[in-house]
Amino acid sequence: MKWKTASTLALLSAVSLIGSACSGGSGSGSGDSEEVKDASAKESKDPVELVFYSMSRDSEASFNERYGDAIRKKFPNYTIKYIQRAQGSDLPDLINAGTRIDIHWDSIGSFPSSNMVYELSYDMSDLIKKHQVDLSRFEPSLIDAMKQLGNGAIYGLPVYNERMALFYNKDLFDKLNVPYPQDGMTWTELDELAKKLNVEKDGVLYTGFSPSVNHLFLTNQYSLPLLDKSAMRPTITNEKWKQVLELQLLQPTQNPVYQKAMQANKGKILDLNQFAKDQSLAMFISSPLMPLVMKEELSKFNWDIVSEPTMPDAPGVGPQSYPGYFAITKMAKDKDAAMEVIKYLTSDEYQMEYAKKGIMTSLKSEEIQKALGQESAFKGKNFGAFFYNKFPAIADKTVEESQVPILATYTKNLNKLSAGEMDINTMMRTADEEASKLLDGLKKK
């Protein structure tokens, strides 16, 4: 599959440093009464055009493969139109031209800067009740995060989810005669394992572990936000961030072999390229999308997955989710039809089909969770690792952090920190100062 969704692009940029179910019925899985089902069936026969848009730059072929074709099959009388983001069709271009968008979707990181900044937001709460969409079917943290964004309003429903787990190269572990990692490890245990894999052998610099630096912040287990929402100030000087950086970044990188490998990588922290392409990095944090977007590379060696390690003072708590929300816009022409489509995309039927293909479900159904990757090219891998630990709350998101590059100020000096060219206190203070200036500048606009 060649899907390039919003979360796919986020994955590639972040990890490369470049950028059972509570409901009844097996159909919609949302607890509909027979009367509502009959009404929905009648509504679906009426001709309707629904226009979709995302900031993801998804191709039309990708949209159709992931969503469009399935929607057309389910609602044959609906005309499904997709506008791809490109030059001349960026969101402000469409809004200025008066182009209607009925359903907008984006990852939780992009949602504030698109849906909310451009005032597309529409509270779907009444439609959710009218169409009897059972919110208790969803992983609770995903719904809570949207309510936080909307100050109680529900601007969108999560259709897919993302979460990090630890991918490891079994061939490399075998080559160096090191036991495999296991589900339920702590970061301290991972560090002890990684040390055994920092080896220079036959002219190759093998390293044990390297973090996905953006995800250190975006999906941290403490649910730390980038910004303090009430004070609207950076949080980087919080001692919990220091714990995250020390355990997940400094411990694995402060090793002579890793340092040498980092020098060979132009002074940059090792990343997805060393894991999936060079096969010199033994362990790397990534999401269920990696096997889809890097199928060719991952087909060349033996690998598997275990749960992301946990922080010592947060046992059993995994990384935050990074979901994608589908939202009915305030300009939507037929909001009931749009709601029926989103209801279908969050149904057991649709979620099960795409879970099997390797897309992480937004539902808490154990049956659907266990189906993850069953029909993918890599069936048999430990995809259950993504659900092994508890889901923490998703950190507060704000429109402001999407308008200025707060995350970039946090990650800016991590290469220097890892290389020993800057101490952690200086790195945190510098990031705090730069982020504060950005926020002060935003206030003056």
And the tokens for 65? 């493969």
Instruction: Take residue 12 and report the two structure tokens written for it.
Output: 């590639």
pTM strictly above 0.95:
no
Residue 350's pLDDT band, with cuts at 50, 70 and 90, is: very high
Distances (CA, A) of 427 to 148, 235, 411, 413, 415: 30, 13, 9, 6, 10
Beta pairing class for 48-54 and 281-286: unpaired
Query: pLDDT at position 81, please?
Result: 97
Tell me what pLDDT residue 44 has: 52
What is the rounded CA–CA span in Å between residue 436 and residue 272? 31
Rounded to whole angstroms, how far apart are CA atoms 110 and 126? Answer: 24
Instruction: Give the residue carrying structure tokens 């009897």.
Output: 132
Q: How far apart are CA 252 and CA 263, in angstroms?
A: 15
Residue 222: CB atoms within 10 Å: 18
- Determine the distance from the C-alpha atom of residue 269 to the mean position of all C-alpha atoms in its chain, rounded to a whole number: 21
Q: Which residues pair with 227 in a beta bridge?
A: 234
Nearest CA to 105 out of 52, 143, 145 is that of 52
Dihedral sign computed on CA atoms, order 81, 84, 85, 89? negative
pLDDT digits (tens, 9 = 90+) for 40-80: 444 556 689 999 999 988 889 999 999 999 999 999 999 99
Three-state secondary-structure class, residue 233: strand
Helix (H, G, I), strand (E, B) or coil at 12: helix
Q: What is the pLDDT of residue 300?
A: 97
Q: Is the pLDDT of residue 217 over 80?
A: yes
pLDDT tens digits, one per residue of 168-179: 999 999 999 999
Yes or no: say if 54 and 84 are a contact pair by the CB < 8 Å rule. Answer: no
Could you tell me if 145 and 223 are in contact, meaning their C-beta atoms sit under 8 angstroms apart? no
**pLDDT one-digit tens code per residue, 373-430:** 999 999 999 999 999 999 999 999 988 888 889 999 999 999 999 999 999 999 999 9
CA 353/CA 205 separation, integer angstroms: 41
Q: What is the mean pLDDT of residues 107-121?
A: 93
Q: What DSSP string describes 285-342? A: EE-TTHHHHTHHHHTTS-EEEEEPPB-TTSTTB-PPP--EEEEE-TT-S-HHHHHHHH
Query: Both tokens of residue 70?
Result: 């399935």
The pair of structure tokens assigned to 169 is: 């190269």
What is the tens place of the pLDDT at every residue in 299-324? 999 999 999 999 999 999 999 999 99
* Max Cα-Cα span within the chain: 70
**Which residue, chain included where needed, has tokens 């704000």?**
398
Out of 23-37, 198-212, 256-270, least confident range: 23-37
Instruction: Residue 312: count other Cβ atoms within 10 Å of its Cβ.
Output: 12
DSSP code, position 275: I
- Surface-to-core class of residue 317, CB atoms within 10 Å of its CB (0-12 exposed, 13-18 middle, 19+ buried): middle
Are the C-beta atoms of residues 161 and 287 closer than 8 Å to each other? no
Cα separation, 155 vs 355, in Å, equals 24
When pLDDT is averaged across residues 100-118 and rounded to a whole number, the result is: 94
Cβ proximity of 36 and 131 under 8 Å? yes
The one-letter amino acid code at 122 reads: Y
Using the predicted structure, report yes or no on whether residue 296 has a pLDDT greater than 90.
Answer: yes
Q: Tokens at residue 281, please?
A: 């990095």
